[in-house]
Amino acid sequence: MPALELDDGSYLSEITAICEYLEEKTPKPPMIGSTPEQRAECRMWTRRVDLNICEPLANGYRFGEALKFFQNRIPCAPEASPGLKKIAADRIRWLDGQMAGKQFLCGTRFTLADMLLYCWIDFATRSGSRWMPPTPTSPHGLRASASGPR
């Protein structure tokens, strides 16, 4: 689990909370947004990516390839692994449709939502998780996120 130790010795965990904290401490360049509208759009896409792609990918991996590591640590449902990966693959296809005409999830802005998506797709691909990666023609896929802001 990601954690950030703060100056007072306390810890902050959860990716979105850490990134929002860092953005408030150092707002330039913005990874969430500079206006209420930009921040809302980024939070919307971050939540969609997290719930629809990252969660199914993570649990599909935990209950599949990493079952031996997790089975005595958390409740696991190995029979759910293929279905969870199928959900993630379906949501990637849905996301590709949503990306039509856009460079990044929030249009021309490279944001926390893109970073989250890229990291999870990269992890799933590198970990040997058997799932359907983005299509080569994906307007987002790994290429757009890996290249960062243009």
Q: pLDDT tens digits, residue range 18-31?
A: 999 999 999 999 99
pLDDT in tens, 70-89: 999 999 999 999 999 999 98
Helix axes 112-126, 15-25, angle to 10 degrees: 140
pLDDT of the residue at 139? 46
* Burial class of 18 by CB neighbour count within 10 A (0 to 12, 13 to 18, 19+): middle
Whether residue 32 contacts residue 42, with contact meaning beta carbons closer than 8 Å, is answered with yes
Strands (E), the chain: 3-5, 11-13
Does 20 or 149 have the greater pLDDT score?
20
Give the C-alpha separation, 142 to 30, whole Å.
21
> Among 100-109, 112-121, 125-134, which is the least confidently predicted range?
125-134
Q: How much is the pTM?
A: 0.82
